A and B are shown apart, each in its own frame.
Chain A
């Protein structure tokens, strides 16, 4: 079983929709949670970074962590065609620097 599971999609939504992306994990040692966005043939870029449980909002993006359920989410409000990309969840254990990634969810926002 992978330590981080992510639905690969693909996910296709109309412009303006609310998008929900999710990951589950099995190791309770993960304390730092991230969402990366990756455009085609580009490197991943950090979208959101959270520590432990709770919500964090940044513009149209909200990251949510539920440690009791080992479940993290990324919500995108008022989705735009420019949001079309692959979204990767990643997490890190305390005291370690390497990241464990989900497989990524490919999102397409249709104008």
Chain B
């Protein structure tokens, strides 16, 4: 997993509650990403970061926000969880442009 840790690994939450997922990396990678993986859709980019406090939206960013106050941590927040956000969330990190992206083990989130 190239030093990428996601927490929690599993979470069940209720509709309407805020949820924060954490991604921690130990390799000082500049770029970090949050993807969600759903059957029939594959992995889709939610948000990404190209440095501390520098973030941008991906393909499916509605209902999500991110923050990166330190190089090693990238947080994904579901502001008010909905059942459509039930998914497996993956964090990835990358050192330089056009190099390999390393993925974490995933967080399985269920919104009931």
| Contacts from A to B (Cβ < 8 Å) | 4, 6, 8, 32, 36, 41-46, 49, 51, 88, 90, 92, 97-99, 101-104
B residues contacting the other copy or chain, number (CB 8 A): 25
The number of A-B residue pairs with CB atoms under 8 Å apart is 51
Q: Which of A32, A41, A98, A103 contacts B42 (CB 8 A)?
A: A103
Contact in complex: B41, A98 (CB < 8 Å): no
Contact in complex: A101, B44 (CB < 8 Å): yes
- Chain A residues with Cβ under 8 A from B42's Cβ? 4, 6, 88, 101-104
Q: Which of B48, B100, B102, B103 contacts A98 (CB 8 A)?
A: B48
Q: Which of B35, B97, B103, B106 contacts A45 (CB 8 A)?
A: B103
A104 to B105, CA, bound (A): 17
Q: Which of A46, A98, A104 contacts B45 (CB 8 A)?
A: A98
A94 to B54, CA, bound (A): 20
| Residue in A8, A41, A44, A98 whose Cβ sees the most chain B Cβ within 10 Å | A98
- Chain B residues with Cβ under 8 A from A42's Cβ? 105-106
Contact in complex: A101, B43 (CB < 8 Å): yes
Q: Is B84 interfacial (CB-CB < 8 Å)?
A: no
Q: Is B33 interfacial (CB-CB < 8 Å)?
A: yes
Q: Of residues 38 to 56 in B, which have CB atoms within 8 Å of A's CB atoms?
A: 40-45, 48, 50
Q: Which of A41, A51, A97, A102 contacts B106 (CB 8 A)?
A: A41
- Chain B residues with Cβ under 8 A from A44's Cβ? 43, 90, 103
Q: Could you write out 25 A-B pairs with CB less than 8 Å apart?
A: A6-B42, A32-B98, A36-B103, A41-B106, A42-B105, A42-B106, A43-B103, A43-B104, A43-B105, A44-B43, A45-B103, A46-B100, A46-B101, A49-B100, A51-B98, A88-B42, A90-B43, A97-B31, A97-B33, A97-B50, A97-B97, A97-B101, A98-B58, A101-B43, A101-B44
